[in-house]
Structures are given as structure tokens and as C-alpha cells.
Amino acid sequence: MKYLVLMLPSAISLCVPFYNVTEPRLFGFPFFYWFLLVLIPLSSLLTLIVYRIEKR
């Protein structure tokens, strides 16, 4: 389970055809770009959750 949660953002980041599109745009950024930029903090957040659970 721990590994699944940790690997999830990586797995998504490799599904390139899914995000290799322009629409929907956000603040002028094509989807390709803002999606990748949002995925990074998301991966951090999931790692933080795993870390917190492990610490308990």
C-alpha cells in the first residue's frame, strides 16, 4: 500500500498521452505544462502522508 501511494504520481507522470493536450488551459498554460507543475506538489503531499503514517 505504502509503495502504491508513493508510486502513484510517478505512474501518472508516465501516462504521457493522457496529458499531452492543450486544453483545458489554466492562466494561459496549456494542460501539458500546468498538469506537470501541479503533479510535483501533489507527489510531495502523498509522500508527506506516507511519512506521517509511518511515524505514528
Partner 1 sequence: MIAHLNWPATFVFVSFFVLVSLLGFVAAHWKRGDLANLHEWGLGGRRFGPWISWFLIGGDLYTAYTVIAVPSVVYAVGAYGFFALPYTILIYPLLYTAFPRLWAIAHRKNYVTAADYVLGRYSNKWLEFAVAFTGVLATMPYIALQLVGMEKVIEALGFEGHGLASHLPLTIAFLILALYTSRSGLRAPAMIAFVKDTMIYIFVIAAIIVVPLKLGGYGAIFDAAGGALHAKAAASGGKITAGLLLAPAQIAPFITLAIGSTFALLMYPHSMTGILSVRDGNAIRINAIALPAYSVMLGLIALMGYMAHAAAVKVANPQDAVPHLILKMFPDWFVGFCFAAIAIGALVPAAIMSIGAANTFTRNILKPLAGQNFGDHHEALLAKVISLVIQLGALIFVLRASTQFALDLQLLGGIWMEQIFPAVIFGLYFRFFSGAGLLTGWATGMALGTYLAWTPKAWVPVHAIFGANFAIYNGVTAILANILVAALVSAVLPDRARDETREERPEVPVSQVEPAAE
Give the 3-state secondary structure of residue 22: coil
Q: Is 18 in the site for partner 1 (CB under 8 A)?
A: no
Q: Which of 10, 23, 53, 56 binds partner 1 (CB under 8 A)?
A: 10
Query: What is the Cα–Cα distance from 3 to 55, expressed in whole angstroms?
Result: 16
7: Cα separation from own chain's centroid: 10
Cβ atoms 19, 32 nearer than 8 A: yes
* Residues that contact partner 1, how many (by CB under 8 A): 30
Positions in the binding site for partner 1 (CB under 8 A): 3, 6-7, 9-10, 13-14, 16-17, 20-22, 25, 27-30, 32-33, 36-37, 39-41, 43-44, 47-48, 50-51
